[in-house]
Amino acid sequence: MHLKKLALSAAAASVVGLSASQAVAQDTLFVPLFTYRTGPFANSGIPIANGMHDYFNMLNARDGGIGGVKLAIQECETGYKNEKGVECYDSVKSKNPLVITPYSTGITLALIPKASVDRIPVFSMAYGLSASAVGADFPWIFNPPATYWDGMSIVLKYIAGKEGGFANLKGKKIGYIYFDGGYGLEPIPLLDQFAKEYGFSVTKYPVPPAQMQNQSGLWLSVRRDRPDWMVMWGWGAMNPTAVQEAAKTGYPMDRFIGVWWSGSEDDARPAGAGAKGYLSLNFNAVGAGYPAIKDIEKYVIAKGNSQTPKGTVGDNFYNRGVMNSAVIAEAIRNAQRITHKKVVNGADVRRGLETLKISDERWKQLGLPGFAAAIQVTCQDHNGHHSAYVQQWDGTKWVKVSDWISPMKEKVLPLLYGAANDYVSKNQPWPKRTEACDDKTL
């Protein structure tokens, strides 16, 4: 009887909605992190979340924040689901967040129209909507250092290099295995255009999100089709399954190249020795031998203020998260410099992101020498179309096997502007840009 009463009152209480009532102190820089430590994409999401969170904690512990103002970091669990992402956004938007990092192309697409209305910038580092590189149409969205189309052109440049020139691509077969969602579908127009131009054929292998761990039939088709190269645009549980299946069906691993989101150690390790030779793009360095990362170990991990498991510091995706936070921190510093305020808001950080200039020298000053290519964002170009390099799995770690390859901007930019115009025309009325440009390029 008592148990029934308890059950009834629990049911009654659960019908009432509680608004998230976490108080954020006034004099802090609030940065929400949309992470996923649960769900089928957690294997990719956890190291990135650790890297992002640890770098900010290090800045708080070592420097007392940015410009003397502490950072308030709050993780919101999205599980890579759009509804949860939108719910996280709704719960944080009234607390003056400085920037949103959704870490999901789907959630980014959902938030793009809301960002300019709520005046909160969205920083989707090398993911999201590629067309948001056009600053005139998307003043509140930023996606340095490179778009998916840049990545595809870099992959094709690498393949052409290995085949002895673009002319030798004629007649070759390239297989494209991709996550059957916005993330994997985006590069397809560029791939098809290149196929027509250079005379190679493309076979597409979509992997539905519900079937990510069930790719054996798909890889048997790959074995039957025998493409010369396989390009992968995978995420979460899809990556290690694909690498394992490729190894099982005997696909030559040194002809299997994944985009920068398919390059985690956890993607290649489960296949054991069979993954040796697997290639992946990357735009940040791997390894823990950088002064900033050593600071993280000293100020954050040693003090027990981190969820990072031992031995994963310096992993590729951990460093990706560190880079994400480092760029955000630079943008906040920029914002403080431009507005002469210490406690900045979202609109200020938008200006900070739009004037982002991280040179090689600056990376050195940040304690990350040679960690990534120089990044430059302008009002017109919210991306920069910077280079990436190719790394190869040698059985235990990633090894850089190419120079920094620049994307084919002359092919990518027309597509980008076309896609931006397409998006704007399909989503009328799209607000015209009213934000002023700080570097006079617009």
Partner 1 sequence: MLYREVGQYKTSYGADQALFPILQDRIGITVILLFAFVGVPLTASSFTLDSVLIPVLVLSLAATGLNLLTGFTGLLSLGTGGFMGVGAFACYKLTTFFPNVNIIVLILCSGFFAAAVGTVFGLPSLRIKGFYLAVATLAAQFFLSWCFIRIPWLYNYNVSASIEVPTKTLLGIPVTGPTASPVTRYLIVLSIVALLTLVAANLVRGRIGRTWMAVRDMDLAAQLIGIRLYQTKLLAFAVSSFYCGVAGAMMVFLWLGNAESESFNINQSFLILFMVIIGGLGSLLGSFLGAALIWGLPIVLRAAPAFFGLRIQSATAEQASFVIVGALIIFFLIVEPHGLARLWQIGKQKLRVWPFPY
DSSP 8-state symbol, 351: H
Rounded Cα distance between 100 and 38, Å, is 20
Cβ(121)–Cβ(349) under 8 Å? yes
316 is a site residue for partner 1 (CB under 8 A)? no
CA 69 from chain centre, in angstroms, equals: 27
| Nearest Cα to Cα of residue 139 among 434, 383, 413, 426 | 434
Region binding partner 1 by CB under 8 A among candidate stretches 73-81, 195-203, 327-335, 360-368: 73-81
DSSP 8-state symbol, 283: S
- Give how far Cα 67 sits from Cα of 55, 97, 169, 325, 391, Å: 16, 17, 52, 15, 36
Region binding partner 1 by CB under 8 A among candidate stretches 70-78, 242-250, 256-264, 359-367: 70-78
184-223 footprint of partner 1 as x/- string (CB under 8 A): -xx-xx------------------xxx-------------
| Nearest Cα to Cα of residue 45 among 111, 102, 108 | 102
Region binding partner 1 by CB under 8 A among candidate stretches 104-112, 150-158, 226-234, 321-329: 104-112
Region binding partner 1 by CB under 8 A among candidate stretches 4-12, 285-293, 359-367, 396-404: 4-12
Region binding partner 1 by CB under 8 A among candidate stretches 174-182, 256-264, 295-303, 385-393: 174-182
Q: Tell me whether residue 14 or residue 434 sits nearer to partner 1 (CB atom).
A: 14
Instruction: Please name every residue paired with 101 in a beta bridge, in sequence order, or none if there are none.
Output: 33
C-beta neighbour count of 148 within 10 angstroms: 27
Q: Tell me whether residue 149 or residue 371 sits nearer to partner 1 (CB atom).
A: 149
Cβ(79)–Cβ(38) under 8 Å? yes
**DSSP assignment of 243-280, as one string?**
HHHHHHHT--GGGEEE-GGG--HHHHGGGGGGGTT-EE
Min separation Cβ 115 and partner 1, Å: 8
C-beta neighbour count of 98 within 10 angstroms: 28
Listed in sequence order, the residues at least 6 apart from 246 whose beta carbon sits closer than 8 Å to its beta carbon are: 219, 222, 230, 253, 256, 271, 278
φ, ψ of residue 107 to 5 degrees: the values are -70, -35
124 is a site residue for partner 1 (CB under 8 A)? no
Min separation Cβ 377 and partner 1, Å: 23
Query: Which residue is associated with the tokens 């088709």?
Result: 221
Q: Tell me whether residue 166 or residue 430 sits nearer to partner 1 (CB atom).
A: 430
Min separation Cβ 6 and partner 1, Å: 10
114 is a site residue for partner 1 (CB under 8 A)? yes
79 is a site residue for partner 1 (CB under 8 A)? yes
426 is a site residue for partner 1 (CB under 8 A)? yes
Q: Tell me whether residue 116 or residue 282 sits nearer to partner 1 (CB atom).
A: 116
38 is a site residue for partner 1 (CB under 8 A)? yes
433 is a site residue for partner 1 (CB under 8 A)? no
Min separation Cβ 1 and partner 1, Å: 11
83 is a site residue for partner 1 (CB under 8 A)? yes
Instruction: Looking at residues 126 to 165 of the shown chain, list those that interact with partner 1 (rule: CB under 8 A).
Output: 129
Q: Which amino acid is at 255?
A: R
Listed in sequence order, the residues at least 6 apart from 1 whose beta carbon sits closer than 8 Å to its beta carbon are: none
Listed in sequence order, the residues at least 6 apart from 33 whose beta carbon sits closer than 8 Å to its beta carbon are: 49, 52, 53, 73, 74, 75, 76, 101
Q: Tell me whether residue 73 or residue 358 sits nearer to partner 1 (CB atom).
A: 73
442 is a site residue for partner 1 (CB under 8 A)? no
Q: Tell me whether residue 105 or residue 316 sits nearer to partner 1 (CB atom).
A: 105
308 is a site residue for partner 1 (CB under 8 A)? no
DSSP 8-state symbol, 380: S
Query: Which residue is associated with the tokens 């059985």?
Result: 395
Q: Tell me whether residue 171 or residue 208 sits nearer to partner 1 (CB atom).
A: 208
Cβ(379)–Cβ(365) under 8 Å? no
Among 165, 304, 311, 429, binds partner 1 (CB under 8 A): 429
8-37 footprint of partner 1 as x/- string (CB under 8 A): x-xx-xxxxxxxxxx------------x-x
Instruction: Looking at residues 365 to 424 of the shown chain, list those that interact with partner 1 (rule: CB under 8 A).
Output: 419
Rounded Cα distance between 171 and 349, Å, is 49
425 is a site residue for partner 1 (CB under 8 A)? no
Instruction: Looking at residues 339 to 368 of the shown chain, list those that interact with partner 1 (rule: CB under 8 A).
Output: none
Site size with partner 1, rule: CB under 8 A:
57
Query: Degrees (nearest 5) of the Cα angle 104, 369, 69?
Result: 65
φ, ψ of residue 256 to 5 degrees: the values are -115, 110
> Applying CB under 8 A, which residues contact partner 1?
3-4, 7-8, 10-11, 13-22, 35, 37-38, 74-77, 79, 82-83, 86-87, 90-91, 94, 105-106, 109-110, 113-114, 116-118, 129, 180-182, 185-186, 188-189, 208-210, 307, 419, 426-429
